[in-house]
Amino acid sequence: MTTIITMIIIIHILNHIIKVPILPTFGIFINTYLIFQLDNWALLRLFIWTFIGFCIYIFYGVKHSKLNSSNDNNTSRIISSSDE
């Protein structure tokens, strides 16, 4: 019960002082609570699969990035626009 009251107070503070929307903040708290209710093996599998997913995402993104294209024309436009 104290956890729910604490979450309500934090959401109220975030909403009225910092102007953070309530629904996404509440979703983050609920999902974090549910993740930490998992047993140790499920939590370990979650972290391993999350790490594998991030690695695939990062290495795929580096290779297929539009900023990393072999077309020097795009690179020169990006560099020249950032120098201005």
User: Residue-wise pLDDT tens for the chain (84 aa)?
Assistant: 677 788 788 777 777 776 667 788 788 889 989 988 999 999 999 999 999 999 998 988 888 778 766 655 554 455 555 555
- For residues 51 and 36, the answer to whether their CB atoms sit within 8 Å is no
- For residues 34 and 26, the answer to whether their CB atoms sit within 8 Å is no
Question: How far is the C-alpha of 66 from the C-alpha of 48, rounded, in Å?
Answer: 29
DSSP 67: T
pTM of the model: 0.49
Residue 39: the pLDDT is: 94
Domain segments of the chain: what residues?
1-37, 40-84
